[in-house]
Amino acid sequence: MNKTVELVKLWGDYEEKNPGCNLDDFFRHQLMAKAADEKKATPDWQLRPGINGKLMILIRRIGKYHMVYSNKALEGTGLDQIEEFGILATIFNQVNPIKSEAIYNNIIELSSGTNMLNRLKKRELITEYEDIDDKRIKRLKLTALGEETLGKAKVRVVEVARMMTSALSEEDKQLCFQLLNPVSEKFDGTFQKFKSKSFDEIFEAMIK
């Protein structure tokens, strides 16, 4: 069958079963169908996560690989770990934020983030100063060495990102971002907001 004719037929069958659908829905359906066809058999005795668990495992594994290779790539740049790069980038991009903003923007516990800021300050990568309007507030600023270090580290971080996504086409990358960004947006700001809440309270608030 001609590929164009086959595509039109697939679309027609899908549209008939799903009135009001659009092309984005159709292409997602096709991707899901392909994934289902490629599903491997698993012995009955093994623990088998559902689709939610599989997705979280996949994201977590990719995240761990990214952290391992990012930390290795940062060797010799003046930074010890990818979280330090995130802190410096936040200070640079947000133009001298307060400490808590830099810490929570990187989803780090306040105590751990404060210790990290102290280490960066000792290495003369950042400095702090009093806010003009409120002397109780301390703002963060990159030193000249900090900006130079951030520039060097950025080159390596970009290389890691390129390596980690090299198996995907540009179209696949855009699709992944489109599909996963709403998840990130839903949880933005909740790290600090739910700090004192139990998981059951968080679950109830987020699952609505």
100: CATH: 1.10.10.10
Amino acid sitting at position 49:
P
Q: Which whole number is the average pLDDT over 79-88?
A: 96
pLDDT exceeds cutoff 70 at 41: no
Two structure tokens written together for 9: 């037929």
The pLDDT-based confidence of 55 (bands split at 50, 70, 90) is very high
Number of compact structural domains in the chain: 1
Tell me which residue of 157, 158, 126, 129 sits closest to 143, measured CA to CA: 126
pTM of the model: 0.76
Q: With respect to residue 9, please indicate whether it lies within any of the assigned structural domains.
A: no
The pLDDT-based confidence of 25 (bands split at 50, 70, 90) is confident
Tell me which residue of 41, 152, 140 sits closest to 93, measured CA to CA: 140
Are 48 and 42 in contact, with CB atoms under 8 Å apart?
A: yes
SS3 state at 76? coil
**Enclosing domain of residue 153:** 51-169
Neighbours of 207 (CB within 10 A): 6
Q: With respect to residue 18, please indicate whether it lies within any of the assigned structural domains.
A: no
